[in-house]
């Protein structure tokens, strides 16, 4: 623990010395979330992370999350140095939607608007008309529907399904999934709800439809956090990465939080509901990356300019 303390102190000093800010997601390690808050950075959902990075006046952004979040920061701030503790921290949605195949997929529907989730590579964003996060997907798709547009959606099939149900639009859908949220089990969730009849069920829309159907609240990590804080209820079953409990407990220390079941037979497998790529961010590699000012996120300028268009459209719409 003394070693942890020393690392934290060193990170704080390095952040100051380099005029750097931490931009962290709710799924990363508690220590990193706490550091981001203590040092004037941000802990946020992916939409707020993008907004914060775009508006920050720091010289350096250190993105503690997964690769698409680092890329988004770089796309909005080419003049800043964007660091990540580990550039191999990817996302199964990003991996499952390669740009070349996606371009071929889109070419079959030339009349459609291409709407992609933020959890994609810069190359895929460069093919899109719009980027959305789970924080603004419904509003943006409703807006497109009102304009009479037809839509190609990628890559998350469950999020796509939820959007279709909520907006009443039918989309051409890519069939990707998040390996973390796809594991939540509907039968076992139903069981847990019987045992905790007063608990409100909070679900991230990357979860399977049969889990989403049992939710009291469906939304981005930010929406789920707000629910824990603002609702009068004192017990919640949460279907998203359990590292969000750090912030939930901080905002509502007296409330009871239960992890939605991921294993069979009613077992709650904590280690299943955690993103392996988010877990690649730690105090040690964060300190190393600030010392070495590496690895940096780099994006070729023509690609950055293309990806910026669909991302900027999203931010302009959400502001
Ligand atoms: P949020 O935009 O809700 O933070 O989600 C990002 C993510 O990767 C969820 O798995
Ligand atoms: Fe991607 Fe799922 Fe990890 Fe979120 S939790 S970063 S969607 S793999």
pLDDT digits over 107-119, tens only?
Answer: 999 999 999 999 9
The mean pLDDT of 295-303, rounded to a whole number, is 98
* Pair 58, 77 in one domain: yes
Query: How many percent of the chain have pLDDT more than 70?
Result: 97
Average pLDDT of the residues in 130-137: 97
What pLDDT does 318 receive? 84
Q: Number of folded domains in the chain?
A: 3
For residue 135, give the ligand nearest its CA.
1
For the segment 132-153, the average pLDDT, to the nearest whole number, is 98
Residue located nearest, by CA, to atom 7 of ligand 2: 178
Q: Ligand 1 in contact with 28 (CB < 6 A)?
A: no
Domain for residue 243, yes or no? yes
**Residue 241 above 70 pLDDT?**
yes
User: Which three-class secondary structure string do you get for the chain?
Assistant: CHHHHHHHHHHHHHHHHCCEEEEEECCCCHHHHHHHHHCCCEEECHHHHHHHHHHCCCCEEEEECCHHHHHHHHHHCCCCEEECCCCCCCCHHHHCCCHHHHHHHHHCCCCCEEEEECCCCHHHHHHCCEEECCCCHHHHHHHHHHCCCCEEEECEHHHHHHHHHHHCCCCEECCECCCCHHHCCHHHHHHHHHHCCCCEEEECCCCCHHHHCCCCEECCHHHHHHHHHHCCCCEEEEECCHHHHHHHHHHCCCCEEEECCCCCCCCCCHHHHCCCCHHHCCHHHHHHHHHHCCCECCCCHHHHHHHHHHHHHHHHHHC
The residue-averaged pLDDT of 127-141 equals 97
Please indicate, yes or no, if residue 261 is contained in any of the structural domains: yes
Maximum distance among all Cα pairs of the chain, rounded to whole angstroms:
60
Ligand showing the shortest atom-to-Cα distance for residue 91 = 2
| pLDDT single digits (tens) 167-191 | 999 999 999 999 999 999 999 999 9
Identify the residues whose C-beta falls under 6 Å from ligand 2: 66, 91-93, 119, 178-181, 206, 241, 275, 277-278
Domain that holds residue 122: 93-173
Residue whose CA lies nearest to ligand 2 atom number 1: 91
Is the predicted pLDDT of residue 150 greater than 70, yes or no? yes
Pair 84, 23 in one domain: yes
Q: Provide the CATH number for the domain around residue 267.
A: 3.40.50.10800
Ligand number, closest to the Cα atom of 204: 1
Q: 279 C-alpha to center of ligand 2: Å?
A: 11
CA of 64 to the centre of ligand 2 (A): 13
CA of 1 to the centre of ligand 1 (A): 30
Question: Is there a single domain that holds both residue 135 and residue 204?
Answer: no
Residue 309 lies in a domain: no
Name the closest-CA residue to atom 6, ligand 1. 46
Bridge pairing between strands 81-83 and 42-44 = unpaired
Q: Span 13-37, mean pLDDT?
A: 98
With contact defined as beta carbons under 8 Å apart, do 71 and 89 qualify? no
CA of 2 to the centre of ligand 1 (A): 32
Mean pLDDT of the chain: 96
* Residues 202 and 217 reside in one and the same domain: yes
- For atom 8 of ligand 2, which residue has the closest CA? 91
69 CA to centre of ligand 2 in angstroms: 11
Is 318 inside any structural domain? no
Q: Quick one: 252 and 266 in the same domain? A: yes
Atom number of ligand 1 nearest to Cα 44: 4
Query: How much is the pLDDT for 266?
Result: 47
Residue at 316 is within a domain: no
Residues 34 and 116 in one domain: no
Q: Is residue 206 pLDDT above 50, yes or no? A: yes
Q: Look at ligand 1, atom 3, and give the residue with the nearest C-alpha.
A: 220
pLDDT given for residue 134 in this prediction = 96
């Amino acid at each position: 623990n003394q070693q942890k303390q020393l690392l934290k102190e060193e990170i704080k000093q390095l952040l100051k010395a380099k005029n750097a800010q931490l931009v962290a997601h709710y799924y990363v390690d508690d220590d990193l979330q706490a550091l981001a808050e203590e040092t004037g950075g941000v802990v946020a959902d992916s939409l707020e992370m993008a907004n914060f990075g775009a508006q920050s006046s720091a010289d350096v952004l250190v993105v503690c999350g997964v690769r698409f979040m680092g890329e988004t920061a770089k796309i909005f701030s080419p003049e800043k140095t964007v660091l990540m503790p580990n550039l191999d921290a990817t996302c199964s949605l990003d991996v499952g939607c390669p740009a070349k195949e996606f371009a071929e997929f889109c070419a079959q529907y030339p009349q459609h608007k291409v709407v992609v989730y933020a959890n994609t590579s810069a190359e895929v964003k460069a093919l899109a008309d719009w980027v959305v996060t789970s924080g603004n997907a419904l509003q943006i798709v409703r807006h497109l529907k009102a304009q009479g547009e037809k839509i190609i959606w990628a890559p998350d099939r469950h999020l796509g399904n939820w959007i279709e149900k909520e907006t009443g639009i039918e989309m051409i859908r890519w069939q990707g999934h998040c390996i973390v949220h796809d594991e939540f089990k509907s039968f076992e969730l139903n069981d847990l709800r019987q045992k905790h009849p007063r608990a409100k069920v909070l679900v991230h829309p990357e979860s399977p439809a049969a889990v989403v159907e049992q939710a009291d609240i469906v939304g981005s990590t930010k929406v789920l956090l707000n629910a824990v804080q603002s609702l009068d209820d004192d017990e919640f079953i949460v279907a998203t990465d359990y590292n969000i409990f750090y912030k939930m407990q901080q905002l509502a220390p007296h409330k009871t939080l239960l992890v939605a079941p991921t294993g069979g037979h009613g077992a709650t497998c904590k280690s299943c509901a955690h993103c392996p790529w988010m877990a690649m961010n730690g105090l040690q590699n964060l300190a190393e990356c600030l010392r070495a000012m590496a690895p940096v996120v780099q994006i070729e300028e023509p690609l950055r300019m293309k990806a910026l268009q669909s991302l900027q459209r999203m931010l302009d719409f959400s502001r």
